[in-house]
Amino acid sequence: MDKPSHLSVILDLSPTQWALCAQSTNPPGISLQAFLSQLLAFFNAHIACKDENTLAVFGALPGQSVLLYSSTGEVVAKDTEPTDPNTYRPFKTLDATVMNSLAEHIASFDGVSEEAPIGLVGCLTKALCYINRVTSNSSTPSSEGEGSAASVDPRILVLSVSPDQSSTYIPIMNSIFSAQKLRVTIDVCKIYGAENVFLQQAAHLTGGAYVQVEKPDALLQYMMMSFLPPPALRQLISVPTQDRVDFRAACFCHKRIVEIGFVCSVCLSIFCQPVPVCSTCRTKFPIKTLQRLNASRPLAISASTPGTPARPPAQRNGTATPATPRPG
Amino acid sequence: MPSVTIKAPMESQDASTATAAASHSLITFLQSQSQNMLTRLYQKPSACLSLFRLLRPLERQLVMNLLWLDLSIPPSTMAAWVTREGKKPYQDALGTLARLHILPPSAAKLALNPTFKSGLRQAITGGGTSGSFGVLAENDEKHPAPEIEALDAYALERWETILYYMVSSGTGQFPAKPSAGVLFLLERSGLMASVHGGALQITSAGFQFLLHPPHVQLWELLLQYLQMAEERQMDLVEVISFLLMLSTTELGKDYSTEKLSATQKAMLEDLRDYGLIKQRTGSIGIPKATSRRFSPTRLATTLTSSSPPLPTSAGSGDGTHAQGFIVLETNYRLYAYTDNPLQIAVLNLFVTLKSRFPNLVIGAITRESVKKALANGITADQIISYLVTHAHPQMRRNKPLLPVTVQDQIRLWELEKNRMKSQEGYLYTAFASQADYEYVLNYAKQLDVVLWENASRRCFFGSLEGHANIRGFIERRQTAGNA
Amino acid sequence: MAPEGRRIGDTFADDSDSDVSIFDHDDATRAKNKGKGKAIDRRKKDKGKGKAKEQPYAWEASYTRSWDTVQEDEAGSLQGAVQDLIARGRRRRLQAPAAAIRRTIIRHLVLVLDLSSAMMDRDMRPTRFDLMLQYAREFITEWFDQNPLGQIGVVGMRGGLGERIGEMSGNPQDVLKSISERHKLEPNGEPSLQNAIEMARSSMSHLPTHSSREILVIFGSLTTCDPGNIHDTLDECVKDRIRISIVALAAEMKICRELCEKTGGQFGVAMNEGHFKDLLFELIPPPAQRAVTRANGGPAANPAADLMIMGFPMRLPDTSPPSLCVCHSQMKSEGFLCPRCLAKVCDVPTDCDICGLMIVSSPHLARSYHHLFPVKPYQAVMTLEDPSNSSKRCHGCSVAFRNTPSTMTGASGEGFSPLGRYRCPECKNDFCTDCDVFVHDVVHCCPGCGK
């Protein structure tokens, strides 16, 4: 039960979204600075819980994904200040390294490629690779999968501000399935913006918590209650999960998020409208089917428009907050 | 003679859930202390952090949930988060925290002790002026901070000296003696005792002690030290907070002694003997010009973590056997890849050693060897848990880890020893008639004191506590019969 | 069976009696070997897999010499051998086609288990029967993992009859439960291939055309006891486009091979426990579509392909107000809402009872996408042209690369990088060996380019 846990944190650092978030008043937003100071306290709390707890921080920048900090020391801060007798040294190193490498990457970022999509997939897969390495190293190298998960208790926390990118649907789903295989829990904290269908599915399928932050100034309290307890402890103290899980998918042709789609029987590609030839496996579909489906089509795809998933407000995700707990 | 020995089962690997795991021995110790003393202790952020780490997972989480709240919350709000399985551990955790005066004893409001809250907050966010995480000594060209290897070697040498002294005390060998302070501590804690005023001999508690994991051993000695400190009129808060501070220091760094109180400076000498810190001294035993700096060893820095407090056994050198060295087969043969005299000596407690190679010892677990261990007061569970803790990585693939036959057999050998149970009592015999016999026997049975009876020989055996009554009964009857 | 005894006789060949018997026995095995060898050879040609040959037959092996399979290098280290194994895995992947191949993904499978007395043979430990049950369980779990939209039914062959053990179901737990009780499946009597196949065929006759219909027979007997002409059944199966695969545990039978070849299935004879498992697990990945086209003459527009309309539902939480579900008419809080008619169903995938829409959750579909979009194999970096320009750490897990090429003697195969670097052809990032294997076998998504 009381075994060390590994936490990989994925920070969504989209400049546009953070700018929007800082200005937002309804719902109230939070600036990146204020967010980071709360985040560092959370990191320290994670390390404080157990000496052997490990941490890796990944940053998702537009078009790239970088490792900002890891307990195994892949990233080293350039100058470590002389130690301060008032601070626990590992905390100091951690905070300095995260802030340093963050500043470095943000500085090197010129804003030209700002429109590039956020490297969330890169971060997720890198986090999985990292966890794979950490878990396989800690057990005996030749032993098979079962033993390896036992020594550390890995999980991933995604702190997201960006909306869904439907182009990343397949890679994200693939990452979710590999997380399931490695028995990694994915927690999602949505700090700003509308609910994120793919990340909801990630949290649901891996048994993690999904929290939509409503009061960002209390972010630290949210994180302490929802993301600090390791999976084993969550059997005793429940964490908020989402009420409704949206199982919609993105179509392959226009990357729209659809709730009724047309599926190729051979390769299971999803299309938002009837197509004569499957774009993935080049299968030709019978004319009769096309005619039949076209007849019923207007009804079928009226539900959603590209990019912004339209949902009646009554069906919005009500996520539990620490202030209103629900017994699990 | 042993005042308080901590015998709580502390092997956490057997505990499958949080409910089963016992609190850390220091936590148990602190629960018996006064609120005043604890509040003084909580003034140091480092003490708060280290104590926090020693708590059980659920307790840690509860503390964290409450740490950032400014107002107190009604207990029902917190309880709503607890699942059905978590109810009992949750109550336990609240109880422990209340006894530590981290939470208020009354159940009306949940809020952290303000001193503890600010202390832990400061530890996590940094800042403050307490300087409780140890003041580093300035860089000194003449005396550079010792290498980590040197520190490890030092700590290991000190610690193994103590253990080896214990294990070989009865064998007629005379290994290096630990310092007088250590010997005194060992004697006080009941791990060793001097027989007929002669040399110190290991006691059965001592044998059990040897089989504990190093972490538990260390805390056992330190707790003993704390109790002694009380008697020596040392300030307990200072002693504990210094120990806790040591656990937050960094390996391979030099710390300055200037900010330490007099009590803590006095402690340095003792801790040096246990191998927790390294300090340059004039010559061993005579601290004439003690250095004004000290460096904590791995024993100290891992006090509040569960990573191995000792580097690998010094003898083997290459450090590949950090996790374990014992291979046990179903045929009771045991292969131990070690050349460390201490480990061999400990194994010798319950294994018949057959042959020895440069890096390997071969032996067998036999009825005799286990019986010998049992006679020394070691229990079967301790033997098994020692074997589990030190199993070779190759063994870890087996499920179950140890061969079931061997485990069961060790337990059976222990049961064999407990085959006979003695109880004092009286035998009632020579009853005049069968009726007489039955009459008394019935009375005794009503009292529930009959241990054995034999109707054909008209005798029965009653326990000691029933004797007065039965005797009175017989006498009354006799007088009644005579009258 | 006396394989042990024979080997012992081999070693201590001073007993003349046993000498004679050894000779006879050896002769018999050689004759048997011939039959099996043919089967293996043919299989090899079909599949291009070379590992079947060096494995011993279960009844030949006297004891397992696991230490013979790996070889130490001069320094006595096994690292070279291990790396060689990894490199071999890489080579196999490099040979696999990188393009997306069409695969049947909505599968229906009837698992036919031989429960005849031949299964009590002990040539596979502990018995053929127990081993079959154990592997069948693993097979079912893995099969559902890779074919989440598929369904499995179970039929047993016992006492000359076909016996329905488990109904066609998409829930792995149902299927596993049906074979969980060993005492209900106790082997007995003769098997009947025809009865069992007929039973399996009848349970699949109503299925839509776009799904695959497969029968997998695990066959331990050397006889089949049929009421009629099994070739008629075979023709019917070909007509219904049912694909029959057989894993035989004893030896090849003509009828078995014919069943498989005519229907486009696979046939294999298990030589030992490990090979048995390999044969079974080869049938787990969705079969490429070409086998079906070959079976029905290979027209360009595959009539089996169709465009289906599917709904992706919303999952209701456990705390929502309870309401009646349309499938069982029970009051329940949790469930899924059909996106078209908003009816509540208990479980997915299913067909909506109200509007007939096929309801699947998108993760079900997504589970099979990695078959469609495989990650391109990474190329082994042989030399570093420009050491200053290349990254020092693995792009996946950030482990540091070694600077000097390894001098391992055992690992000198193609597809093995002496530097331990493997480069993605798309994004030109370097990965370590572990990440290479992990990315291709588990994640199916390159961390560098996100594809």
User: Which residue of chain A comes nearest to C289, CA vs CA?
Assistant: A266
Residue C409 has pLDDT above 70, yes or no: no
Report whether C429 contacts A65 (CB < 8 A).
no
Total residues belonging to chain C: 451
CB pairs under 8 A between A and C: 214
Q: Which amino acid type is present at position A323? A: A
In a domain, C211, yes or no: yes
Give the model confidence (pLDDT) of C87-112 as tens digits: 666 656 555 554 445 566 678 899 99
Same domain (yes/no): C438, C356: no
What's the total number of domains in chain A?
2
Instruction: Please say whether the dihedral angle defined by the alpha carbons of residues C273, C278, C281 and C283, taken in this order, is positive or negative.
Output: negative
Report whether C79 contacts C408 (CB < 8 A).
yes
Mutation target to probe the C interface, by most C beta carbons within 10 A, among A136, A146, A252, A263 is A263
Chains C and B are touching, with contact defined as 3 or more CB–CB pairs separated by less than 8 Å: no
Nearest to C426 by CA among C375, C372, C351, C357: C375
Residue C240's Cβ-count burial label (10 Å; 0-12, 13-18, 19+) is middle
The pLDDT score that the predictor gives to residue B143 is: 66
**A204, A235, A266 — which closes off a domain?**
A235
Looking up residue A160, the CATH number of its domain turns out to be 3.40.50.410
- Between B328-337, C28-37, C54-63, C209-218, the lowest mean confidence (pLDDT) is in C28-37
Contacting residues of A for B122, CB less than 8 Å apart: 86
The pLDDT score that the predictor gives to residue C182 is: 82
Same domain (yes/no): A284, A216: no
Q: Any chain C CB within 8 A of the CB of A149?
A: no
Q: Which residues pair with A185 in a beta bridge?
A: A155
Helices (H) and strands (E) in chain B, counts: 20, 12
Contacting residues of C for A281, CB less than 8 Å apart: 100, 102, 289, 372
Residue B209 tokens read as 């002690």
> Residue range B92-119: average pLDDT?
85
Nearest to C215 by CA among C154, C273, C271, C270: C154
Same domain (yes/no): C141, C45: no
Same domain (yes/no): A169, A266: no
Distance CA B396, CA A152 (A): 16
Mutation target to probe the A interface, by most A beta carbons within 10 A, among C445, C446, C449 is C445
**C441: DSSP letter:** I
Report the mean per-residue pLDDT for chain C: 74
Q: Which of A70, A176, A285 sits opposite C305 (nearest CB)?
A: A285
Name the band, by pLDDT with cuts 50, 70 and 90, for residue A148: very low
> Residue range B303-314: average pLDDT?
62
- Between A12-26, B162-176, B209-223, the lowest mean confidence (pLDDT) is in B162-176
Same domain (yes/no): C116, C184: yes
For residue C279, the SS3 value is helix
Q: What is the number of other CB atoms lying within 10 angstroms of the CB of residue B25?
A: 18
In a domain, C137, yes or no: yes
Contacting residues of B for A327, CB less than 8 Å apart: 80-83
Same domain (yes/no): C47, C139: no
Q: Any chain A CB within 8 A of the CB of B423?
A: no
Q: Which residues pair with A67 in a beta bridge?
A: A58
Dump the DSSP string for C66-114: HHHHS---TTS-SHHHHHHHHHHHHHHHHHS--S---B--SEEEEEEEE
Contact state of A170 with C369 under an 8 Å Cβ cutoff? yes
Domain locations along chain B: 12-125, 148-301, 326-417, 425-482
Q: Any chain A CB within 8 A of the CB of C350?
A: no
The pLDDT score that the predictor gives to residue C133 is: 92
Q: Any chain C CB within 8 A of the CB of A247?
A: yes
Chain center to CA of B149: 27
Distance CA C278, CA A275 (A): 39
Residue B86's Cβ-count burial label (10 Å; 0-12, 13-18, 19+) is buried
Q: Which residues of C376-415 are buried (b: 16+ CB within 10 A; e: fewer)?
A: ebbebbeeeeeeeebeeebbbbbbebeeeeeebebbeeeb
Half-sphere exposure of A77 (CA within 13 A, CB side): 17
Distance from CA of C366 to the nearest CA of A (A): 6
> Residue range C154-174: average pLDDT?
87
Q: Which amino acid type is present at position C442? A: V
Half-sphere exposure of C185 (CA within 13 A, CB side): 25
Same domain (yes/no): A159, A262: no
**C365, C384, C404 — which closes off a domain?**
C365
Same domain (yes/no): C122, C247: yes
Same domain (yes/no): C207, C245: yes
Contacting residues of C for A142, CB less than 8 Å apart: 82
- Between B434-443, C24-33, C213-222, the lowest mean confidence (pLDDT) is in C24-33
Nearest to C257 by CA among C110, C42, C29: C42
Q: Which of C210, C369, C370 sits opposite A265 (nearest CB)?
A: C210
* Prediction pTM value: 0.74
In a domain, C347, yes or no: yes
End-to-end CA distance of chain B: 54
Residue A113 tokens read as 């490629």
Q: Can you give the C-alpha Rg of chain C in angstroms? A: 26
Name the band, by pLDDT with cuts 50, 70 and 90, for residue C70: low
Report whether B105 contacts B159 (CB < 8 A).
no
The pLDDT score that the predictor gives to residue C100 is: 47
Contact state of A51 with B307 under an 8 Å Cβ cutoff? yes
Contact state of C305 with A284 under an 8 Å Cβ cutoff? yes
H helix runs in C251-341, sequence order: 254-263, 273-281, 290-295
Name the band, by pLDDT with cuts 50, 70 and 90, for residue A313: very low
Q: Which residue has the higher pLDDT, C114 or C95?
A: C114
Strands B255-256 and B293-296: antiparallel
Q: What is the number of other CB atoms lying within 10 angstroms of the CB of residue C346?
A: 14
Residue C285's Cβ-count burial label (10 Å; 0-12, 13-18, 19+) is middle
Distance from CA of A317 to the nearest CA of C (A): 10
**A178, A210, A235 — which closes off a domain?**
A235
Report whether A202 contacts A186 (CB < 8 A).
yes
Q: Any chain B CB within 8 A of the CB of A89?
A: yes
Distance CA C273, CA C277 (A): 6
Residue C160 tokens read as 């000359």
Contacting residues of C for A245, CB less than 8 Å apart: 314-315
Q: Which residue has the higher pLDDT, C145 or C409?
A: C145
Report the mean per-residue pLDDT for chain A: 77
- Between A153-167, B122-136, C386-400, C405-419, the lowest mean confidence (pLDDT) is in C405-419
Residue C179 has pLDDT above 70, yes or no: yes
> Residue range C240-261: average pLDDT?
91
Report whether C289 contacts C104 (CB < 8 A).
yes
Report whether A4 contacts A153 (CB < 8 A).
yes
Nearest to A197 by CA among C366, B227, C348, B174: C366
The pLDDT score that the predictor gives to residue B174 is: 65
Q: Which of A82, A88, A236 sits opposite B58 (nearest CB)?
A: A236
Residue A44 tokens read as 């320290």
Mutual angle of helices B148-167 and B204-211, in 10-degree steps: 150
In a domain, C97, yes or no: no
Taking CA atoms, C115 is separated from A146, C183, C185, C223, in Å, by 32, 12, 7, 13
Distance CA A57, CA A34 (A): 18
Domain housing A118: 5-235
- Between A64-73, C73-82, C357-366, the lowest mean confidence (pLDDT) is in C73-82
Contact state of A178 with C442 under an 8 Å Cβ cutoff? yes
**A207, A235, A263 — which closes off a domain?**
A235
What's the total number of domains in chain C?
4
Distance from CA of A218 to the nearest CA of C (A): 26
Same domain (yes/no): A258, A190: no
Name the band, by pLDDT with cuts 50, 70 and 90, for residue C135: very high
In a domain, C167, yes or no: yes
The pLDDT score that the predictor gives to residue A137 is: 63
Residue C420 has pLDDT above 80, yes or no: no
Q: Which residue has the higher pLDDT, A227 or C7?
A: A227
Q: Which of A50, A221, A235 sits opposite B53 (nearest CB)?
A: A50
In a domain, A150, yes or no: yes
Residue C342 has pLDDT above 50, yes or no: yes
Nearest to A196 by CA among A22, A317, A313: A317
Q: Which CATH number fits domain B425-482: 3.40.50.12280, 1.10.510.10, 3.30.70.2610, 1.10.3720.10?
A: 3.30.70.2610
For residue A271, the SS3 value is strand
> Residue range B34-46: average pLDDT?
88
User: Which residue of chain B comes nearest to A219, CA vs CA?
Assistant: B68
Same domain (yes/no): A66, A214: yes
Distance CA C79, CA C58 (A): 29
- Between A52-56, B115-119, B312-316, the lowest mean confidence (pLDDT) is in B312-316
Q: Any chain A CB within 8 A of the CB of B60?
A: yes
**C258, C293, C328 — which closes off a domain?**
C293
Same domain (yes/no): A223, A266: no
Angle at Cα B431 formed by Cα B430 and Cα B434, nearest 5°? 130
Domain housing C390: 375-451
Same domain (yes/no): A260, A174: no
In a domain, A307, yes or no: no
In a domain, A134, yes or no: yes
In a domain, A297, yes or no: yes
The pLDDT score that the predictor gives to residue B228 is: 85
Chains C and A are touching, with contact defined as 3 or more CB–CB pairs separated by less than 8 Å: yes
Distance CA B401, CA B407 (A): 10
Residue C7 has pLDDT above 60, yes or no: no
Same domain (yes/no): A133, A218: yes
Same domain (yes/no): A230, A97: yes
The interface predicted TM-score of the complex, written ipTM, equals 0.78
Same domain (yes/no): C111, C142: yes
Contact state of B306 with A325 under an 8 Å Cβ cutoff? no
Same domain (yes/no): C321, C417: no
> Residue range A199-204: average pLDDT?
88
Q: Which of A52, A88, A225 sits opposite B248 (nearest CB)?
A: A88
Residue C216 tokens read as 């997998």
Same domain (yes/no): A104, A74: yes
> Residues 128-167, chain B: which have Cβ within 8 Å of A?
128-136
The pLDDT score that the predictor gives to residue C230 is: 92
In a domain, A313, yes or no: no
Same domain (yes/no): C113, C243: yes
In a domain, C100, yes or no: no
Residue B116 has pLDDT above 80, yes or no: yes
For residue B190, the SS3 value is coil
Contact state of C319 with A126 under an 8 Å Cβ cutoff? no
Strands C161-169 and C151-158: antiparallel
In a domain, A314, yes or no: no
Report whether A6 contacts A134 (CB < 8 A).
yes
% of chain C surpassing 70 pLDDT = 66
**C324, C345, C365 — which closes off a domain?**
C365
Distance CA C83, CA B97 (A): 52
Same domain (yes/no): A280, A174: no
Same domain (yes/no): A187, A143: yes
Same domain (yes/no): C174, C206: yes
